[in-house]
Amino acid sequence: MRILGIDPGYATTGFGVLDAQRGAFRLLNYGTITTPTTLTFPERLVMLYDDMTALLDTVKPDAVAVEELFWGHNVTTGIGVSHGRGVILLAICKTGVPLFEYTPNQVKQAVAGYGGADKHQVMEMTRRLLKMEKVARPDDAADAIAIALCHARSATSLLAGKGL
């Protein structure tokens, strides 16, 4: 099963691609989609949609896992990220690929074993579980890998039940 993990944003969207087979996980690719600040906000959303569509066409995932939004202190930034997340969800839904959404605490629980784990603990456990030499950078890509890993670990029992 090829899983595409997405850490949504409008300025920077992280992505991570994993192969999950019978409880074994292999990192295939990761990176970010960025939109330049020189564009208007609507133009950035169009660019994000086009780039997300191209990523989906290239990766051809069996499932996409997206992090749900966590509202921090900056509501203005949160609203922009919400718009970006909506564009990302639209691009995914138009492909017909199954979409799964996870809260930050679900990702932390699945990867680090503790829903209150800090960012560095999750990044280090992701590195260890995927046998990476170092933690992925930038953080948006590392977060997306953890989201994909969350889905891979959550779906393992479902895959085993289907003989996959």
Task: Give yes or no: 7 in active site.
Answer: yes
State the Cα–Cα distance between residues 134 and 19, nearest whole angstrom: 19
Task: Give yes or no: 67 in active site.
Answer: yes
User: Catalytic one among 50, 67, 118, 133?
Assistant: 67
State the Cα–Cα distance between residues 65 and 136, nearest whole angstrom: 18
How many of the other CB atoms lie within 10 Å of CB of 21?
A: 13
How many of the other CB atoms lie within 10 Å of CB of 106?
A: 17
Task: Give yes or no: 62 in active site.
Answer: no
- β-strands 99-102, 24-34: how paired? unpaired
Buried b (16+ CB within 10 A) or exposed e, 48-83: bbebbbebbeebebebbbbbebeeeeeeeeeebbeb
- List residues with catalytic annotation: 7, 67, 140
